[in-house]
Amino acid sequence: MQSEDRGFRHDRESLIRMFKKHLINDEAFQEMLEEESIFWTDDLDHAASMVIKTIKSIKEEDEDVEILPLWRNDDDDKSFAKNLFTQALAQGEENEKLIKEGAQNWELERIALLDKIIMKMALAEAKTFPSIPLKVTLNEYIELSKFYSTEKSHGFINGILDQLFTKLKESGAIKKTGRGLI
């Protein structure tokens, strides 16, 4: 028996279900996005999650709904990307040695170039940005490897980075600050 209580909460949840089921998986919608940008597959998950967060944030008493921004601050994002890039390059040789130590049973030359780049960037981020939790860094780079590297790379990268992060944290080379990070 269906409930007669179909209020705001029910409508909001129905809208989310329709969005997930019909719009995101709609072939015509995906074709339209592909015509707009070749990077649509990279951006769709993030954009969809922001749409869902926006819908969830709507309260019944709201007259106007402000769409949540996809980015907090473009200047902050650019600064972060530039700093990460610079540090990944500056720490490149040092981080390559760490990767070689972490991949004891592998010759460095046998590790896929993209896997090495992903691990170097993760190590640079972990050592350079004290306010980003190690778990966040680890998960982000594992996700990157799932999208852009070989099928089994994410497990390989996870094992090496997890081991290296533990070692670097114990040695004091990685210091995290901020709430919940100390």
Query: Which residue is associated with the tokens 């949840």?
Result: 13
182 occurs within a structural domain = no
Alpha-carbon torsion (94, 181, 78, 37), positive or negative: positive
pLDDT, the chain, mean? 86
Model confidence pLDDT, tens digit, residues 102-161: 998 888 889 999 999 999 999 999 999 999 999 999 999 999 998 889 999 999 999 999
| Same domain, residue pair 136 and 84 | yes
Closest by CA to 95, choosing from 74, 116, 110, 111, is 116
Q: Domain of 33? A: 8-57
Q: Report d(CA 154, CA 93) in Å as an integer.
A: 22
Residues 29, 87: one domain?
Answer: no
Residues 6 or more apart whose CB falls under 8 angstroms from that of 49 comprise: none
